[in-house]
């Protein structure tokens, strides 16, 4: 109950302050507010174009991501494309590349003045620029590349859970392949696709990093970047930003609600809980074009961005045309020499360790509480901890900024605040990972230990924990990686003396050189990989010694 | 091995607003094998889990070996791990991260037995379920039947005072189930232990029980020996659930009753002599049940005084172990199962007869 209460405080406390700030109509800097009113919401009319921008970018990106997710989902789960199993694994990679890395890379590739594509275009005699990434289309493109893998996972799962007998029945009754696809397959997967679209749209509304990196040069704002601007300018306009945040949050909350409705009501026939071996359709020589589609997606979403950033990080001045004299290691030397970068990287790794370790304990206990304890009110706790799902991290961080500013223990500006923030915003991530495993473990496995006479602690040690181990390790890794690369919450909450690496990369992008930024981004990725390798080695040795 | 009796009194179990068990009372004698039988959702598993301590009843009392383990007033609720029982689960609940040996040894290690004793007793238990050579194998690499045996060995190895079985055979295929039924019965007798068994399978219940409790909708319909449950069902539910029975509707003819028999007259005018199982219904409109295997068909009129009627074979269905005849009788169809290969064919005029002992007047 205590842990449940703790989770409630973590989630609700900042939200309450966010709402309070949005209703403040006196002196914008006054804490607590001098007067309350709805003026801030009425004043949002001036920012109508920003809401329009947000909807435009989110809609474009969602459409593109769903097309990507549906195409890839269908190819990889229902056709006999070569290398199906391998591609399915590789589809997780875009998630690890992150939108920030993607945005940096695509800015290098396609910015109007110095983008590689445009450099080549001009070298070939072209005029002006061929492509421009600093547009709504460009932002949507980058966002869709990364959200595409999320859409793929969701839509692919629906396609896999469909009983192939339903299609076979249609064929046996005389319908051709096209008719079967149109009249049977499509209607059956439609609720799942719709659910994925709504979910992705909600995520896009709250996304931040691509819009920041690609939109700022042209002063193109979406709600999250506008909020960031309002808070970080002087004087900051907290109440307006808060009103924006609450509005965005309300829309996203509605979206998540719709998503849950679709998922619970719409997937009636496809999900039967039975495991099917999805039938792979023989698509003949179309296999090769399909293979091409898969390779193309991974190229633009993973290979090209990583290669581009790597290439840029070894250049004096980035150019599409490599010259021997232009290659250098100086960016890495600079990055590693900068105290700010070193301490930020160290802080991030430390925070990652702390978030993952505390998080696994906290979220493991919460999962058990919600899905196993049959405690009255478990359902309420579940809703509460899944709540951050519906709140953009930047908006959440804004609430925390206000909430913890007046907290009696001075944690503002320290890593402690970031730790609390990470633990809060990653509650849904950790909970979903761990509860997935908890739900797979049949209750009778614990009950039979009880019937053998084992007490609560003994059962936990000998049965529950060993069975949960893979899930806990996976959750730990996810939390670690997500924390080290967090941007939306960190950029608002980090103090001048306690910086973390991702916001530092963004700062560097806008204030120092592109090449140095690329080096920092790669260093961050390498640090994550190195930390994970080290941890695994240590863990394995510990396990082996323990076993001897 | 201490054998314990179980007393369940006025047991009520609720899930949220739903009452799963509504005031159930029965006892299990020390060393007795009792079965809770009923369709899914009748509350039998919930009752078993309440005895185990895995489900907290709303009210009532449960005693094991005379000592209360649950009582609503005064409030007593001994946790499952301290009730000294053991249980075989429907899903077997074999821990996949342990070897077969470790699975079986669990209950002994919980009780901190010396390792030498653990080894000896696990060996003995594995011998008893004929898995002696599989001890070192990982439990995740077992067939369904083997998992079943491991679950059994794990449940009895630490000499619990009561063994509970939650549909232990329902996940096995028909042939293996029939085999395990016999093995289970033998094991029960050898261990000489009190057991409560839950199943929806009549044959299983008849085969392994000393007594059967038939349940429906959270309440008890009838308690009796397998023979009583089979041949003397109290009401239509038990007659219907427990196996194929012909139900005959008719009016009571108290004026014709003699020698302790009851008589009813069907709408077609046939007189059926039978016995009353429990309380006799007062109304005019009554029902009698007679099992399909208790009816006889003969070409010549048998020499009995009562319950002999002419009939005509309408359909003959050969089913291997027996032949099922559908006969026209008294304006309706009776179903008769005969084990012998009588040379009867469709259209034959025959006599159908029944011993009044097997014609049972139902209470409702």
- pLDDT tens digits for range A62-82: 999 999 999 998 888 888 888
Among residues A227, A223, A225, the alpha carbon closest in space to that of A242 is found at A227
Which one of A179-193, A269-283, B51-65, B227-241 scores highest in mean pLDDT?
A: B51-65
Q: How far is CA A14 from CA A225, A388, A402, A418, in A?
A: 20, 11, 7, 13
Comparing CB atoms, the residue among B87, B93, B107 nearest residue A442 is B93
Chain centroid offset of residue A241 CA = 23
pLDDT value at position B153? 92
For the stretch A123-134, pLDDT in tens is 888 888 888 999
Mean pLDDT of the region B312-327: 90
Chain A residue numbers with beta carbons less than 8 Å from the beta carbon of B80 are: 447, 450-451
| Interchain proximity B110–A450, CB inside 8 Å | no
Q: State whether A452 and B107 contact (CB < 8 Å).
A: yes
CA–CA separation, A253 and A387 (whole Å): 9
The answer to whether the CB of B209 falls within 8 A of the CB of B202 is no
- Give the integer Cα–Cα distance in Å for B258 and A131: 106
The per-residue pLDDT for B2 is: 65
CB A43 within 8 A of CB A245: no
Separation of alpha carbons A262 and B96, rounded Å: 36
> pLDDT at residue A32 above 80?
no
Check CB contact under 8 Å for B82 and A453.
Answer: yes
Q: Is A440 in CB contact (< 8 Å) with chain B? A: no
Confidence of residue B344 (pLDDT cuts 50, 70, 90): confident
Instruction: Identify the band that residue A266 occupies on the pLDDT scale cut at 50, 70 and 90.
Output: low
Helix (H) or strand (E) holding A529: helix A514-547
A interface mutation test: which of B51, B55, B89, B167 has the most A CBs within 10 A?
Answer: B89
The reply to whether A277 falls in a domain is no
Is residue A271 predicted with pLDDT exceeding 60? no
**Under an 8 A CB cutoff, do B155 and A451 touch?**
yes
Number of H helices, E strands in chain B: 8, 21
The minimum CA-CA distance between A462 and chain B, rounded to whole Å, is 9
Question: Whose CA is closest to A52, among A133, A136, A132, A131?
Answer: A136
- The Cα B103–Cα B150 span in angstroms is 8
What's A417's domain CATH number? 1.10.3720.10
Q: What is the pLDDT of residue A67?
A: 93
pLDDT of A270: 44
β strands within B1-96, DSSP E: 6-15, 18-28, 33-37, 59-64, 67-71, 76-77, 85-88
Residue with tokens 């659910």: A195
Domain of A59, in residue numbers: 2-25+47-271+285-547
Q: What integer pLDDT is reported at residue A278 of this predicted model?
A: 59
Preferred mutation among A374, A378, A441, A451 to probe B, highest tally of B CBs within 10 A: A451
Q: Which of residues 73-102 of B touch A (CB under 8 A)?
A: 79-82, 84-87, 89-91, 93, 95-97
Which of B86, B95, B107 minimises the CB distance to A463? Answer: B95
For residue range B70-96, list pLDDT tens digits in order.
Answer: 998 889 999 999 998 999 998 888 888
pLDDT band at B314 (very low <50, low <70, confident <90, very high): very high
Express each pLDDT in A191-250 by its tens digit: 888 888 888 898 888 889 999 999 988 899 999 999 998 888 888 888 888 888 888 888
Let me know if residue A34 belongs to a domain: no
Residue A414 lies in a domain: yes
What pLDDT shows up at residue A249?
Answer: 85
Is the pLDDT at A264 greater than 80? The verdict is: no
Instruction: Give the number of other CB atoms < 10 A from CB of residue A539.
Output: 12
What is the least distance, in Å, from the CA of A457 to any CA of chain B?
Answer: 11
Residues from chain B contacting residue A467 (CB–CB below 8 Å): 95-97
Contacts of B54 in chain A (CB under 8 A): 447, 450-451
**A469, closest residue in chain B (CA to CA):** B97
* The predicted structure's pLDDT at residue A496: 82
Q: Which of B106, B112, B155, B161 to mutate to test the interface with A (most CBs of A within 10 A)?
A: B106
Q: pLDDT > 70: what percent of chain A?
A: 94
Question: Looking at A25-29, B52-56, B116-120, B270-274, which range is the least confident one?
Answer: A25-29
Q: What pLDDT does residue A543 have?
A: 61
Six-digit token string for A287: 């296999």
**Average pLDDT of every residue of chain B:** 89
pLDDT of the residue at A238: 84
What is the separation of C-alpha A120 from the centre of its chain, rounded to a whole number of angstroms? 33
Two tokens, residue B207: 């085969």
Give B-chain residues touching A451 at CB under 8 angstroms. 52, 54, 80-81, 85-87, 155, 164
Q: What are the φ/ψ torsions at residue B322 (nearest 5 degrees)?
A: -150, 170
Q: Which residue has the tokens 């900024």?
A: A401
> How far, in Å, CA of A331 to CA of A514, rounded?
10
A interface test, pick of B98, B107, B138 with most A CB neighbours within 10 Å: B107
Q: Do A444 and B89 touch (CB under 8 A)?
A: yes
In terms of Cα–Cα distance, which of A363, A351, A353 is closest to A475? A363
User: Tokens 């990889």 correspond to what residue?
Assistant: A76
Confidence at residue A546, expressed as pLDDT on a 0 to 100 scale: 46
Instruction: Mark yes or no for CB contact B93/A444 under 8 Å.
Output: yes
Q: Which of B106, B110, B155, B108 is nearest to B128 (CA)?
A: B155
Rounded to an integer, what distance in angstroms lies between the CA atom of residue A280 and that of residue A273?
Answer: 20
Measure in Å the smallest separation between the Cα of B158 and chain A Cα atoms: 8
pLDDT at residue A536 above 50?
A: yes
Distance from CA of A366 to the nearest CA of B (A): 22
Inter-chain contacts counted by CB atoms under 8 A, chains A and B: 60
- As a whole number of angstroms, the distance between CA A343 and CA A353 comes to 15
Query: How many C-beta neighbours within 10 Å does residue A385 have?
Result: 25
Distance of CA A374 to the CA centre of its chain: 31
Q: What is the pLDDT of residue A173?
A: 84
- How far off is chain B from A435, nearest CA to CA, in Å? 19
Residue A545: predicted pLDDT? 55
Q: Which residue of A has its CA nearest to B54?
A: A447
Q: Quote the minimal CA–CA distance from A11 to chain B in Å.
A: 28
CA distances (Å), origin B77, targets B72, B73, B74: 8, 10, 10
Q: How many domains does chain A have?
A: 1
Chain B partners of A463 at a C-beta cutoff of 8 Å? 95
Cα–Cα nearest to B273, from B291, B261, B258, B289: B261
- State residue B278's pLDDT score: 61
Q: pLDDT-based confidence at A1, cuts 50/70/90?
A: low
Query: Which of A 459-518 lie inside 8 A of B, CB atoms?
Result: 462-463, 466-467
Can you list the alpha helix ranges (DSSP code H) found in A372-500?
378-386, 393-405, 415-425, 427-440, 443-451, 456-459, 465-484, 488-493
> According to DSSP H, which parts of A131-218 are helical?
136-160, 164-172, 177-180, 186-205, 209-215
Cα A309 from chain centre: 20
Q: For residue range A455-474, list pLDDT tens digits in order.
A: 988 998 899 888 888 788 88
* DSSP-based three-state secondary structure for B354: strand
- For residue A391, the model assigns a pLDDT of 83
First-last CA distance in chain B? 44
- Most confident segment among A125-139, A292-306, A497-511: A292-306
pLDDT tens, position by position, B235-261 = 889 988 877 889 999 988 888 888 888
Contact B89 A447 (CB under 8 A): yes
Q: Which residues of B touch A472 (CB under 8 A)?
A: none
Residue of chain A minimizing CA distance to B111: A453
Contact (CB<8Å) A454/B106: yes
Q: Is residue A33 part of a domain?
A: no
Which 3 state secondary structure label does DSSP give A364? Answer: helix
B219-224 and B211-216 beta bridge pairing: antiparallel
Closest CB to B110 among A442, A445, A458: A458
Position B57 scores a pLDDT of 94
User: Are B90 and A444 in contact (CB < 8 Å)?
Assistant: yes
Cis-peptide, bond into residue A364, ω within 30° of zero = no
Res A69: pLDDT: 92
ipTM of predicted complex: 0.80
Identify which of A445, A453, A458 has the shortest CB distance to residue B95. Answer: A445
Least confident of A138-147, A256-265, A494-503: A256-265
How far apart, in whole angstroms, are the C-alpha atoms of residue B248 and residue B268?
11
Residue A16 falls within a domain, yes or no?
Answer: yes
Rounded to whole angstroms, the Cα distance separating A95 from A85 reads 18
Helices H / strands E in chain A, number of each: 28, 0
Cross-chain residue pair B106–A462, CB shorter than 8 Å? yes
Closest C-alpha among B263, B245, B244 to residue B254: B263
Length of chain A: 548
> Cα B269 from chain centroid?
36
Residue of B nearest to A376 (CA): B16
**Range scoring the smallest mean pLDDT among A77-81, A328-332, B276-280, B324-328:** B276-280
pTM, two decimals, is 0.79
Chain A residue numbers touching B110 (CB-CB < 8 A): 452-454, 458
B contact residues 100-119, partner A, Cβ 8 Å cutoff: 106-107, 110-111
Which residue in the block uniquely carries the two structure tokens 């679209």?
A: A197
pLDDT of residue A547 exceeding 50, the answer is no
Assign A276 a pLDDT band (cuts: 50, 70, 90): low
What is the rounded radius of gyration, in angstroms, for the C-alpha atoms of chain B?
A: 24
Which B positions 131-170 lie with beta carbon below 8 A of chain A? 151, 154-155, 158, 164
Is the CB of residue B249 less than 8 Å away from at least one CB of chain A? no
Place of tokens 């219940």: B205
**Is B77 in a helix, a strand, or coil?**
strand
pLDDT 10s digits, A301-346? 999 999 999 999 998 888 878 888 888 888 898 888 888 888 999 9
Chain A contact for B237 (CB, 8 A cutoff):
no
Q: For position A267, what pLDDT does the model report? A: 47
Spatial contact of B126 and B156, defined as CB atoms under 8 Å apart: no
Selecting from B82, B93, B151 the residue whose C-beta is nearest the C-beta of A447 gives B93
Q: Does the residue A220 lie in any domain?
A: yes
The two most distant CA atoms of chain B are separated, in Å, by: 75
Nearest Cα of chain A lies from the Cα of B84 at a distance, in angstroms, of 7
* B226 min Cα distance to partner chain A (Å): 29
Quickly state the pLDDT bin for A365 (edges 50, 70, 90): confident
Any domain includes A30: no
A430 within some domain:
yes
| Residue of chain B whose Cα is closest to the Cα of A455 | B81
Which residues of chain A have a CB within 8 Å of the CB of B154? 448, 452
């Amino acid at each position: 109950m205590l842990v449940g209460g703790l989770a409630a405080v973590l989630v609700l406390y900042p939200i309450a302050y966010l709402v309070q700030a949005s209703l403040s109509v006196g002196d914008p800097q006054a804490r607590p507010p001098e007067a309350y009113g709805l003026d801030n919401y009425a004043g949002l009319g001036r920012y109508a174009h920003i809401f329009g921008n947000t909807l435009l970018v989110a809609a474009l990106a969602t459409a593109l991501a769903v097309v990507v997710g549906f195409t890839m989902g269908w190819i990889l789960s229902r056709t006999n494309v070569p290398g199906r199993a391998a591609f399915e694994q590789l589809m997780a990679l875009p998630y690890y590349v992150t939108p920030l890395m993607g945005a940096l890379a695509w800015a290098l590739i396609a910015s109007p003045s110095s983008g590689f594509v445009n450099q080549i275009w001009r070298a070939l005699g072209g005029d002006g620029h061929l492509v421009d990434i600093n547009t709504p289309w460009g932002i949507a493109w980058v966002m869709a590349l990364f959200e595409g893998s999320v859409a793929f996972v969701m839509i692919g799962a629906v396609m896999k859970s469909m009983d192939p007998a339903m299609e076979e029945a249609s064929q046996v009754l005389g319908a051709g392949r096209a008719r079967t696809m149109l009249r049977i397959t499509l209607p059956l997967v439609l609720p799942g696709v719709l659910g994925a679209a709504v979910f992705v749209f909600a995520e896009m509304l709250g996304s931040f990093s691509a819009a920041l990196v690609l939109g700022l040069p042209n002063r193109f704002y979406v709600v999250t970047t506008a909020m960031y601007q309002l808070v970080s300018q002087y004087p900051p306009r907290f109440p307006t930003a808060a009103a924006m945040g609450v509005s965005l949050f309300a829309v996203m909350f509605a979206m998540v609600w719709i998503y849950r409705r679709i998922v619970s009501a719409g997937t009636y026939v496809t999900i039967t809980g039975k495991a099917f071996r999805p039938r792979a359709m023989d698509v003949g020589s179309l296999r090769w074009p399909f293979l091409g589609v898969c390779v193309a997606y991974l190229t633009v979403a993973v290979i090209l961005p990583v290669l581009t950033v790597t290439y840029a990080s070894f250049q004096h001045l980035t150019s599409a045309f490599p010259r021997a004299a232009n290659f250098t290691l100086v960016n890495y030397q600079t990055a590693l020499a900068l105290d700010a970068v070193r301490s930020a990287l160290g802080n991030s790794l430390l925070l990652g360790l702390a978030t993952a370790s505390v998080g696994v304990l906290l979220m493991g206990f919460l999962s058990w509480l919600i899905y196993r304890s049959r405690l009255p009110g478990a359902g309420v706790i579940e809703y509460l901890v899944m709540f951050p799902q519906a709140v953009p991290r930047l908006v959440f961080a804004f609430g925390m900024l206000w909430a913890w500013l007046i907290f009696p223990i001075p944690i503002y500006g320290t890593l402690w605040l970031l730790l609390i923030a990470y633990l809060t915003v990653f509650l849904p991530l950790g909970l979903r990972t761990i509860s997935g495993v908890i739900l797979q473990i049949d209750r009778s496995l614990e009950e039979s230990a009880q019937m053998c006479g084992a007490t609560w602690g003994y059962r936990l040690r000998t049965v529950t924990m060993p069975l949960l181990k893979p899930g806990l390790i996976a959750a730990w890794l996810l939390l670690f990686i997500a924390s080290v690369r967090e941007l939306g919450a960190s950029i608002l909450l980090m103090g001048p003396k306690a910086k973390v690496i991702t916001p530092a990369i963004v700062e560097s992008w806008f204030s120092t050189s592109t090449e140095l930024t690329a080096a920092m981004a790669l260093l961050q990725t390498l640090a994550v990989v190195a930390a994970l390798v080290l941890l695994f080695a240590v863990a394995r040795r510990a396990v082996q010694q323990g076993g001897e | 091995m201490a054998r314990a009796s179980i007393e369940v009194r006025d047991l009520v179990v609720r899930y949220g607003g739903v009452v799963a068990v509504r005031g159930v009372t029965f006892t299990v004698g020390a060393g007795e094998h009792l079965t809770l039988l009923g369709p899914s959702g009748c509350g039998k598993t919930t009752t078993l889990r309440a005895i185990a301590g895995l489900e907290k009843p709303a009210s009532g009392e449960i005693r094991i070996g005379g000592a209360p383990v649950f009582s609503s007033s005064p409030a007593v609720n001994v946790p499952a791990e301290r009730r000294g029982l053991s249980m075989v689960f429907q899903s077997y609940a074999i821990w996949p991260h342990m070897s077969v040996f470790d699975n079986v040894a669990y209950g002994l290690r919980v009780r901190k037995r010396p390792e030498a004793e653990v080894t000896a007793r696990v060996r003995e238990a594995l011998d008893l379920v004929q898995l002696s050579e599989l001890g070192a194998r990982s439990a995740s690499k077992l067939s369904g039947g083997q998992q079943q045996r491991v679950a059994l060995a794990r449940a009895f190895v630490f000499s619990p005072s009561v063994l509970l079985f939650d549909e232990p055979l329902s996940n096995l295929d028909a042939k293996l189930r029939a085999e395990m039924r016999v093995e289970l019965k033998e094991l029960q007798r050898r261990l000489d232990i009190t057991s409560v068994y839950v199943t929806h399978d009549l044959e299983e219940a008849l085969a392994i029980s000393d007594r059967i409790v038939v349940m429906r909708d959270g309440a008890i319909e009838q308690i009796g020996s397998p023979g009583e449950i089979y041949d003397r069902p109290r009401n239509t539910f038990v007659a219907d659930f427990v196996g194929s029975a012909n139900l005959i509707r008719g009016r009571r003819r108290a004026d014709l009753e003699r020698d302790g028999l009851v008589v009813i007259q069907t709408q077609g005018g046939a007189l059926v002599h039978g016995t009353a199982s429990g309380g006799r219904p007062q109304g005019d409109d009554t029902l009698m049940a007679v099992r399909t295997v208790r009816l006889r068909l003969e070409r010549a009129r048998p020499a009995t005084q009562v319950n002999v009627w002419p009939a005509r074979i309408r359909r003959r269905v050969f089913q291997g172990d027996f032949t099922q005849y559908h006969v026209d009788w008294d304006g309706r169809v009776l179903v008769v199962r005969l084990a012998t290969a009588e040379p009867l064919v469709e259209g034959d005029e025959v006599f159908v007869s029944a011993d009044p002992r097997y014609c049972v007047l139902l209470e409702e």
